[in-house]
Structure 1
Amino acid sequence: MNTFYNSAKCLVSFVYWLFIANTTFRSFTQRRSLSSFISLLLTIYIIPSFGVSIWLFCGEFYLEKKHQKIANRIRYISNKCLDELKTYKNIFQNKNSEVANSIFQLCKNRQGIYGIKSNSLELLTNTKKTIQLLIRDIRLARTNIEMVFYIWQPGGLADDVAIALINSAKRGIHCRLMLDSAGSIKFFRSPWVKIMREAGIEVVEALKINFLRFFLKRIDIRQHRKIVLIDNYITYTGSMNLADPFLFKKSLGLGQWIDLMARIEGPVAMTMGIVYSYDWENETGCKILPSLPDKKILKNDLNNMTSNIQVIASGRGFPDNMIHQALLTAIYSARKELIITTPYLVPSEDLLHAICKASKRGVNVSIIIPLYHDSILVKWASRAFFSELLDSGVKIYQFKKGVLHSKSILVDQQLSLVGTANFDMRSLWLNFEITIAIDDSIFGNKLANIQYQYISDSELLDKKTWSMRAYWTRILEKIFYFFSPLL
């Protein structure tokens, strides 16, 4: 009996350490940031079971041959679509403001397209009013409606959007809805899926989580984009999920979620549509492409719309690290003022250094984050960066009136970045995200007014008070900082 027990114990131990050795080897073969690699490797050996679990969930960068072929095919088709769009020469902006020139050149060289002008933008800060405006546009749609959200939570105003979408489908509008599997789990367990499909709406569960996926591919990569495209001319994007603000995560008792969305009319919707077509074909294998804008409409718009926009997307089929590079470029372009709004502040070393250097060279740098968090891990990990930021002269504001979920950057009140990406590793390296870069001082002034309102509803973190915080909190910060490259 003892012989059997000892043999079984040795076998289990051998298999266990063989698995750890294999994990280590495969970690060495992957190209990742040094801090992320070291954190993962140390975790594997300090706490083997926990480290291997993290690797299973987060460590592998799978890109199956099937998906690679799809990505290559979509890239070829979308390039043809972009070539056709380039025949509309009057919509492209060849010259940018000094502060925006670097980021627009980066996007042109890496994405193959100039910034698109002749767009009308509206900043939306009230989620209830945003959803009501969205419902109006859905009801007025003439040809097609495409949507992608990370979270669709049934109930309240979200049900009103569902009803409007169903009614539009019934009157012949082609409607497509793509939702993240994990983020929208409540939706996929609700009756709305069947009701919508019966009405003719194409509903797709993106990056579906199932038992087989757990063993064959990463399950932590999420479809985090928020895009609405109507008639290939009106588009929405920003931080808002499709959920009633009075009901969303109400059980946490943190207050209402504060979001920021941009509603855009103009030819930039075409490039947003190309991003959507990438995601749709990746999930379904079906090819869709947005229609080219009407030249007569564009001719009229050239005299009325001025905003110059670049669409920046991340994920399979898009240039690697594009959003991360765009953020770095924007920060290094700042000369006078830099305001960052983010719910999750766990920056890469490059971003952290860029922000600190901006402050040290005389830029007035402000970071606005929520005082109340829905993620304990991120809350404590972000605190580990406060000291270095404060020592560099960065002002950190903690928003008190609800959960600040807005994601925006404003550089010298001229260059604005609005979208779905957080200042954390997940958004920068893993998730499917989208950001729009806007070169427009009028829009910049509007965004500045919103951010200044956030600041007035926040409390400034005092450097002296922060330095006197309890010792046990410093220990927790260091522990969570250790895992920050993996968050």
Structure 2
Amino acid sequence: MLSMLDAGPVWPIVLVVVVVIDIVALIVVPRGRKPTAAMAWLLLILALPFVGILLFLLIGSFRLPAKRRAEQARIDGIIRSGVDREGLRTMQTDWPRWFQRVVQQNENLTALPASDGNEASLYPDYQASIDAMAAAIDTAERFVHVEFFIVAWDDTTRGFFAAMERAVARGVTVRLLADYVATRRLKNSTATFAELDRIGVTWAWMLPVMPLKGKYQRPDLRNHRKIVVVDGRIGFMGSQNLIDRSYDSPKNIKRGLKWQELMTRLTGPVVAAVNVVFLSDWLIETGEDLTAVEHVPATELERSAFPDSLLCQVVPSGPGYATENNLRLFLSLIYGATEKVILTSPYFVPDEAMVYAITTACQRGLEVQLFVSEIGDQGLVYHAQRSYYSALLEAGVRIFLYPAPYILHSKHFSIDDDIAVIGSSNMDIRSFSLNMEVSLLVRGASFVAGMREVEQAYRDAGRELTLEEWNSQPGKATFLDGLARLTSALN
């Protein structure tokens, strides 16, 4: 009885605290946040006030610290000045007007212009792409820039590391950036960076979570970019990380999972823009400005003389920018399409704007296809993705499932027969808001023809999901899909 009396006055205090939390949440949470994300956070906080508010304080900020955002803006200003000084803007009157506006939009958001006279080749084979990057490094005379979300020294990447070692031995400067959280959590990360130290690679972490050293931001804001630049004249971009196809995970190996990727090799003026993304990330992470020694201006790069050379534009995005550059690019292209839209994304968890763009394309009479994996490696994302299938299939989207045990990790899409995008960005809320990504916009029928071959290989390997099959899904799976969809909005 005494214990109950003693505890009595506590409950009014708890009630007052809960009411205060709810009122503050209603004021603070919606600010600058999409309605769906705000609603998800408010539901969590109202249902579980103390747990919800702690999670919000930990991961509620979807922007990098103000200092980092200011530095990105300063760098963008420097890039714009260089573009103006060197007269690098490319805008041709024979482009469709809507496409001119997309190019202009990208440059307004990122400072990076489009360039013509480029060549590109696609690498859908996992080991072949790593070997191609290693072969390019073997041609290096001045510098090599390597930037990956995940870096590992294993049997698959050993040739890449050997190429870096040979480059260092020739007197070439090799610099490497790796995402702190994604790479540090690997079991062999210590051995990986010991090897980098041994061979003489200069390396740094991206977005380190080191609060005792004054380096901290929301811990799940990550740098997801994949870039290799050799002497400023050869570039690689795409979806693939520098690691074995199983991601060196015992769980993946046990399930027999293998990642399917797509990379592109670039030459021409666009490589200068790819290099600028690396130089910007290096400057932000290390404070070292390499522009004077390791920047090759686009004006010094040879333009392709072939009539089917490509127009390319690099579009970096992420929480360092004021808006979602990649999402705006994707939406603009889908709304500009006149014949077909073919999407490939391993983690397809779109926001409402993307769903409307895709389903509206179907309603305009376009052919719309989506390639995803039959199975998932991340349960929550997998179920959230599945929650969109019904609406897409009903709208007329054809969904193709890439077969197990492969995880279709490629990230690209094509518009009509002459426009494509390839890069590191998934079509999900995380890639739009929380990850630093880099995408490549390409205009050129030859490039899209190559992407069509890749897409056909996906069709041949997998199978089409029908609305009839989907409607026969058990109720338990539908419940899990819906629950996961709610949690996916917590950004």
The equivalent residue for 1:366 is 369
- Partner of 1:184, secondary structure, is helix
Q: 1:101 to 1:65 in 2, by over 3 A?
A: closer
Task: Say if 2:415 is the partner of 1:411.
Answer: yes
Which of the residues 326, 329, 350 maps onto 1:347?
350
Is the CA contact (8 Å cut-off) linking 1:123 and 1:263 kept in structure 2?
yes
The equivalent residue for 2:118 is 119
Q: CA deviation at 1:277?
A: 1.9
The equivalent residue for 1:261 is 263
Equivalent-residue separation in structure 2 for 1:281 and 1:386 (angstroms): 42
Equivalent-residue separation in structure 1 for 2:243 and 2:74 (angstroms): 34
Q: CA deviation at 1:77?
A: 2.4
Is the CA contact (8 Å cut-off) linking 1:153 and 1:187 kept in structure 2?
no
- Between 1:255-264 and 1:111-120, the stretch displaced more is 111-120
Is the CA contact (8 Å cut-off) linking 1:135 and 1:161 kept in structure 2?
yes
Task: Say if 2:472 is the partner of 1:474.
Answer: no
Is the CA contact (8 Å cut-off) linking 1:254 and 1:403 kept in structure 2?
no
Equivalent-residue separation in structure 2 for 1:101 and 1:455 (angstroms): 32
Equivalent-residue separation in structure 2 for 1:69 and 1:334 (angstroms): 35
* Equivalent position amino acid for 1:136 in 2: A
The equivalent residue for 1:426 is 430
Task: Say if 2:92 is the partner of 1:94.
Answer: yes
Q: What are structure 1's unaligned runs of at least 5 residues?
A: none
Is the CA contact (8 Å cut-off) linking 1:341 and 1:408 kept in structure 2?
yes
- Between 1:228-237 and 1:151-160, the stretch displaced more is 151-160
Q: CA deviation at 1:439?
A: 0.3
Equivalent-residue separation in structure 2 for 1:316 and 1:476 (angstroms): 29
- Between 1:226-235 and 1:315-324, the stretch displaced more is 315-324
Is the CA contact (8 Å cut-off) linking 1:102 and 1:329 kept in structure 2?
no
Count of matched residue pairs: 482
The equivalent residue for 2:219 is 219
The equivalent residue for 1:153 is 152
Which of the residues 293, 299, 312 maps onto 1:309?
312
Q: What are structure 2's unaligned runs of at least 5 residues?
A: none
Equivalent-residue separation in structure 2 for 1:246 and 1:408 (angstroms): 21
Q: 1:192 to 1:464 in 2, by over 3 A?
A: closer
- The CA deviation string for residues 258-307 of structure 1, in whole angstroms up to 9 with x for no partner, is 000010011111111221122112211221224334857526x3457711
- The CA deviation string for residues 163-196 of structure 1, in whole angstroms up to 9 with x for no partner, is 3213312321111111001111127842332342
Is the CA contact (8 Å cut-off) linking 1:127 and 1:245 kept in structure 2?
yes
* Equivalent position amino acid for 2:56 in 1: W
Equivalent-residue separation in structure 1 for 2:13 and 2:41 (angstroms): 26
TM-score (norm 2): 0.90
The equivalent residue for 1:399 is 402
The equivalent residue for 1:298 is 302
Q: CA deviation at 1:351?
A: 0.5
Is the CA contact (8 Å cut-off) linking 1:420 and 1:433 kept in structure 2?
yes
Q: CA deviation at 1:405?
A: 0.3
1:9-408 alignment runs, 5 A limit: 22-28=24-30, 30-86=31-87, 92-95=90-93, 97-98=95-96, 100-185=99-184, 186=186, 189-210=189-210, 217-245=217-245, 248-249=248-249, 251-252=251-252, 253-289=255-291, 290-293=294-297, 298=302, 301-302=304-305, 306-315=309-318, 317-318=320-321, 320-401=323-404, 402-408=406-412
Q: 1:127 to 1:215 in 2, by over 3 A?
A: closer
TM-score (norm 1): 0.91
Q: 1:383 to 1:50 in 2, by over 3 A?
A: farther
Is the CA contact (8 Å cut-off) linking 1:93 and 1:308 kept in structure 2?
no
Is the CA contact (8 Å cut-off) linking 2:144 and 2:230 kept in structure 1?
yes
Is the CA contact (8 Å cut-off) linking 1:155 and 1:243 kept in structure 2?
yes
Equivalent-residue separation in structure 1 for 2:69 and 2:313 (angstroms): 25
Is the CA contact (8 Å cut-off) linking 2:153 and 2:191 kept in structure 1?
no
- Between 1:348-357 and 1:467-476, the stretch displaced more is 467-476
Q: 1:357 to 1:65 in 2, by over 3 A?
A: closer
Equivalent-residue separation in structure 1 for 2:162 and 2:285 (angstroms): 25
Equivalent-residue separation in structure 1 for 2:233 and 2:198 (angstroms): 27
- Between 1:100-109 and 1:167-176, the stretch displaced more is 100-109
Equivalent-residue separation in structure 2 for 1:469 and 1:296 (angstroms): 57
Q: 1:254 to 1:386 in 2, by over 3 A?
A: farther
